[in-house]
Structures are given as structure tokens and as C-alpha cells.
């Protein structure tokens, strides 16, 4: 059977590094991978479900991988997110494909609410 997993290195919000095997054939995105491996507490990531409408899945891309271009929704959501850096992306907008083998990311801090 053809190997369809890619290895992704994810640093969680506590600074702990996890190396996970993410499937490329399940239509998953990076936010869903983080959730499926429970690397961020439920209710603190993917709040909008993955519609680029909440920025709770903001990640910093640490490796040089070529990622899909940022769409308007993601760009505008990041314009209102906190702790944004030049390498910020929304995990929900990054589909898991074989090109992502070896991707290294860090989950951005959770934004505080009143």
C-alpha cells in the first residue's frame, strides 16, 4: 500500500515538540491534525470549525515549505488576530499534502478574553 502519511513537527503552546504522522488522504488541514492529536485543549482551537473566521488555529511556520497562497479570508482574519508574525498562517487553511513532509510549525498563543 502506498504510504500516505507525512511527518509534521508541531510545537505546542507549552513549547513541547511533537512529531506526528498526518494522513494526506483524509482531506485534513493543519488545524484538524493538531486537534486529532490533541495538541491544544479542545475549545481553544478551531472554534469556528475551520472557516478562517476566528484565528484560534494561528500557527507560525518554522520551515521553508511552500504553502498554498493565503486567501482573502485568511489574510483579513490575520489582520485582526493577536501575536501575528510574518510567518503566521491559519492552520485551517493549510491542507495536508505530500509536499508538507517535514513541515515544522508552532501553535500561536491563545488570545485572552475578558
CB 59 within 8 A of CB 108: yes
Rounded Cα–Cα distance for residues 88 and 104 (Å)? 12
Q: At 91, phi and psi to the nearest 5?
A: -55, -35
Stretch that binds another protein, among 17-25, 43-51, 63-71, 97-105 (CB under 8 A): 43-51
Question: Could you say whether residue 43 binds another protein (CB under 8 A)?
Answer: yes
Question: Could you say whether residue 14 binds another protein (CB under 8 A)?
Answer: no
Question: Could you say whether residue 17 binds another protein (CB under 8 A)?
Answer: no
Written as nine digits, the cell of 57 is 488555529
Question: Could you say whether residue 44 binds another protein (CB under 8 A)?
Answer: yes
Shortest approach of another protein to residue 89 CB, angstroms? 16
Closest CA to 105 of 3, 10, 6, 5: 10
Chain residues in the site for another protein (CB under 8 A): 41-44, 47-49, 51, 53-54, 56, 76-77, 79-80, 82-84, 109, 111-114
Amino acid at each position: 500500500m502506498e504510504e500516505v502519511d507525512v511527518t509534521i513537527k508541531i510545537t505546542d503552546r507549552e513549547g513541547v515538540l511533537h512529531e506526528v504522522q498526518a494522513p494526506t488522504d483524509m482531506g485534513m488541514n493543519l488545524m484538524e491534525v493538531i486537534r486529532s492529536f490533541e495538541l491544544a485543549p479542545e475549545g481553544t482551537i478551531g472554534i469556528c470549525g475551520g472557516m478562517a473566521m476566528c484565528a484560534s488555529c494561528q500557527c507560525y511556520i518554522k520551515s521553508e515549505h511552500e504553502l498554498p497562497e493565503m486567501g482573502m479570508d485568511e489574510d483579513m482574519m490575520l489582520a485582526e488576530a493577536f501575536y501575528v508574525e510574518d510567518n503566521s498562517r491559519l492552520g485551517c487553511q493549510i491542507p495536508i499534502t505530500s509536499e508538507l513532509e517535514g513541515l515544522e510549525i508552532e501553535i500561536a498563543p491563545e488570545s485572552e478574553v475578558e
